[in-house]
Amino acid sequence: MNDNDLYLLLNEIFNNLISKPSYKVFYLPVNPIQEPTYYLTIQTPIFLINIENKIKDKQYKTITEFKDDINLLVNNTRIAYGEDSLSYKIVQKIHYDMEKKVQKKLIFEEKLITFNRNIEFIKDSNERNQILKLIQTQTVPLKIIAKYFGVGEPKLKKIIKEWGFEFPKLKKGQKEMIITEDDINKISEILTAANLGQKRLSQLTLNSEHKIRKIMKILQPVIKENENEEKVHDNQFHAVKVNYCWHTDLHYLKSKPPYNENTHYLIAYIDDCSRYIVYWEIGEFKDQDFTAQSLDNCIRLTNQKPHMLVTDNGKEFTGQKFTEVVANYNINQHFIKPRTPEENGKIERWWRNIECLKNYFDIPLIIRLYNDVFVHSSLKKEYNARMTPCYAFTNLPKFDPEIDKGKDLIYYKNSKKEQNA
């Protein structure tokens, strides 16, 4: 296989992998502020973007070199997050799909490699019969055959007819849904790492919800499905523009690896309009030093800031250091009423995404899945469209301090405007 053929093969395999939303979470490098121990633990970091660049630059000389980098990504994930983590289970699936795709492509290549790539130069009747047989038996997909010869499918059909053959009728239609032991094992493995519901399992594995339901019935009562995420909650209000209102809070991390003995604290900032997690960070102390620094990091690193920030009345949010950062960035801080966490309900409810995990090693992964892969039910209800928080954050109208000055951009569902949320 020459360099150009190898480039085309690896490019096709990689594009097939990256087309799956759940695999994209391994595309970009780990953020060292959010995961400070990663680069201390991992000696040779590699991510899908590095592999993509090596393919583009034609640095791979053999398929083995490409496989070695995928294996390195798998091994790094195992070391960083553990064999029981959801991160490791998903990256193993990347490896499995890569091996399967490479093997299939090589088999197809082996069946076609003897033919001249310029199909119009093929004059031998035996070779023509062999090509027709490949098409008839569907041993190699029609689009692969056409691509090998550098023609479109209509052109290939025309050439076959010019040879004097009747183009065969190919079988089409939906395949019967078959649930294999492998399908059951994959879902079972995911559920041992994170207690996800049917919709999220469907989006994560690219299986239909119908198939997931059948698999769940097979698995029960061994594993009980988490129904929490299926419930649609009516929020009292929502912002109609991105970056008009954010919510933030602290969440205790304890009793799960790696924080079994020492409690840590997760802070997150969620945009009210899009439900996008703009930024998150983990700290050792529940104090205003941590919250103030995290807010500053958030705004500096993301180049985003809210018009209004909703917080509770804890000292970590009322202290001078935090309120100074708020003031320095010209943000309006809104404190919820004491003992009314529902006023900060969007961030309070979001913590369920964290608690569905069996260990906290998977926090970076579940946030990326939440932002980039899972369709948010509230967004679907409010905008009548299937959107992930990331898509909504990127595409919905953004707050403009000049245009929107003095406007109340909070929509109250029950028209009860008790106070500005």
Please give the backbone phi and psi of residue 238, each rounded to the nearest 5 degrees, phi first. Answer: -155, 150
How high is the mean pLDDT of the chain? 88
Contact between residue 244 and residue 273 where contact means Cβ atoms under 8 Å apart: yes
Looking at residue 109, its pLDDT comes to 74
Give the fold, CATH level 3, of 3-109.
Answer: Histone Acetyltransferase; Chain A (1.20.920)
- What pTM does this model have? 0.80
Task: Mean pLDDT check: name the lowest of 44-48, 220-224, 369-373.
Answer: 220-224
Mean pLDDT across 80-106: 90
For 254-341, strand residue ranges (E) read: 264-271, 277-283, 308-311, 332-335
Give the fold, CATH level 3, of 237-412.
Answer: Nucleotidyltransferase; domain 5 (3.30.420)
Q: At what angle do helices 320-328 and 288-302 cross, to 10 degrees?
A: 20
Output the six-digit token pair for 252. Answer: 């205790």
287 exposure class (CB count in 10 Å sphere: 0-12, 13-18, 19+): middle
Distances (CA, A) of 408 to 90, 210, 379, 411: 43, 43, 20, 8
Output the six-digit token pair for 45. Answer: 């970091």
Output the six-digit token pair for 139. Answer: 């041993």
How far the first Cα of the chain sits from its last, in Å, is 63
3-state secondary structure of 308: strand
What does the domain layout of the chain look like in residue ranges?
3-109, 114-162, 181-230, 237-412
Distances (CA, A) of 224 to 216, 218, 353, 366: 8, 11, 17, 20
Q: Which residue has the tokens 């290549």?
A: 109
Residue 100, pLDDT > 70, answer yes
Model confidence band, residue 222 (pLDDT cutoffs 50, 70, 90)? very low
DSSP character at residue 98 = H
3-state secondary structure of 283: strand
Looking at residue 421, its pLDDT comes to 41
Residue 73, pLDDT > 70, answer yes
The residues with which 242 forms a beta bridge, in sequence order, are 398
Residue 404, pLDDT > 90, answer yes
Mean pLDDT across 378-400: 91
Distances (CA, A) of 406 to 171, 323, 416: 63, 22, 20
Model confidence band, residue 143 (pLDDT cutoffs 50, 70, 90)? confident
Contact between residue 266 and residue 251 where contact means Cβ atoms under 8 Å apart: yes
Contact residues for 53 (Cβ-Cβ < 8 A; gap 6+): none
How many helices (H) and strands (E) would you count in the chain? 18, 7
Distance in angstroms (rounded) separating the CA atoms of residues 313 and 96: 49
Output the six-digit token pair for 376. Answer: 């948010």
How many other CB atoms sit within 10 Å of the CB of residue 19?
10
Q: Which amino acid is located at 172 in the chain?
A: K
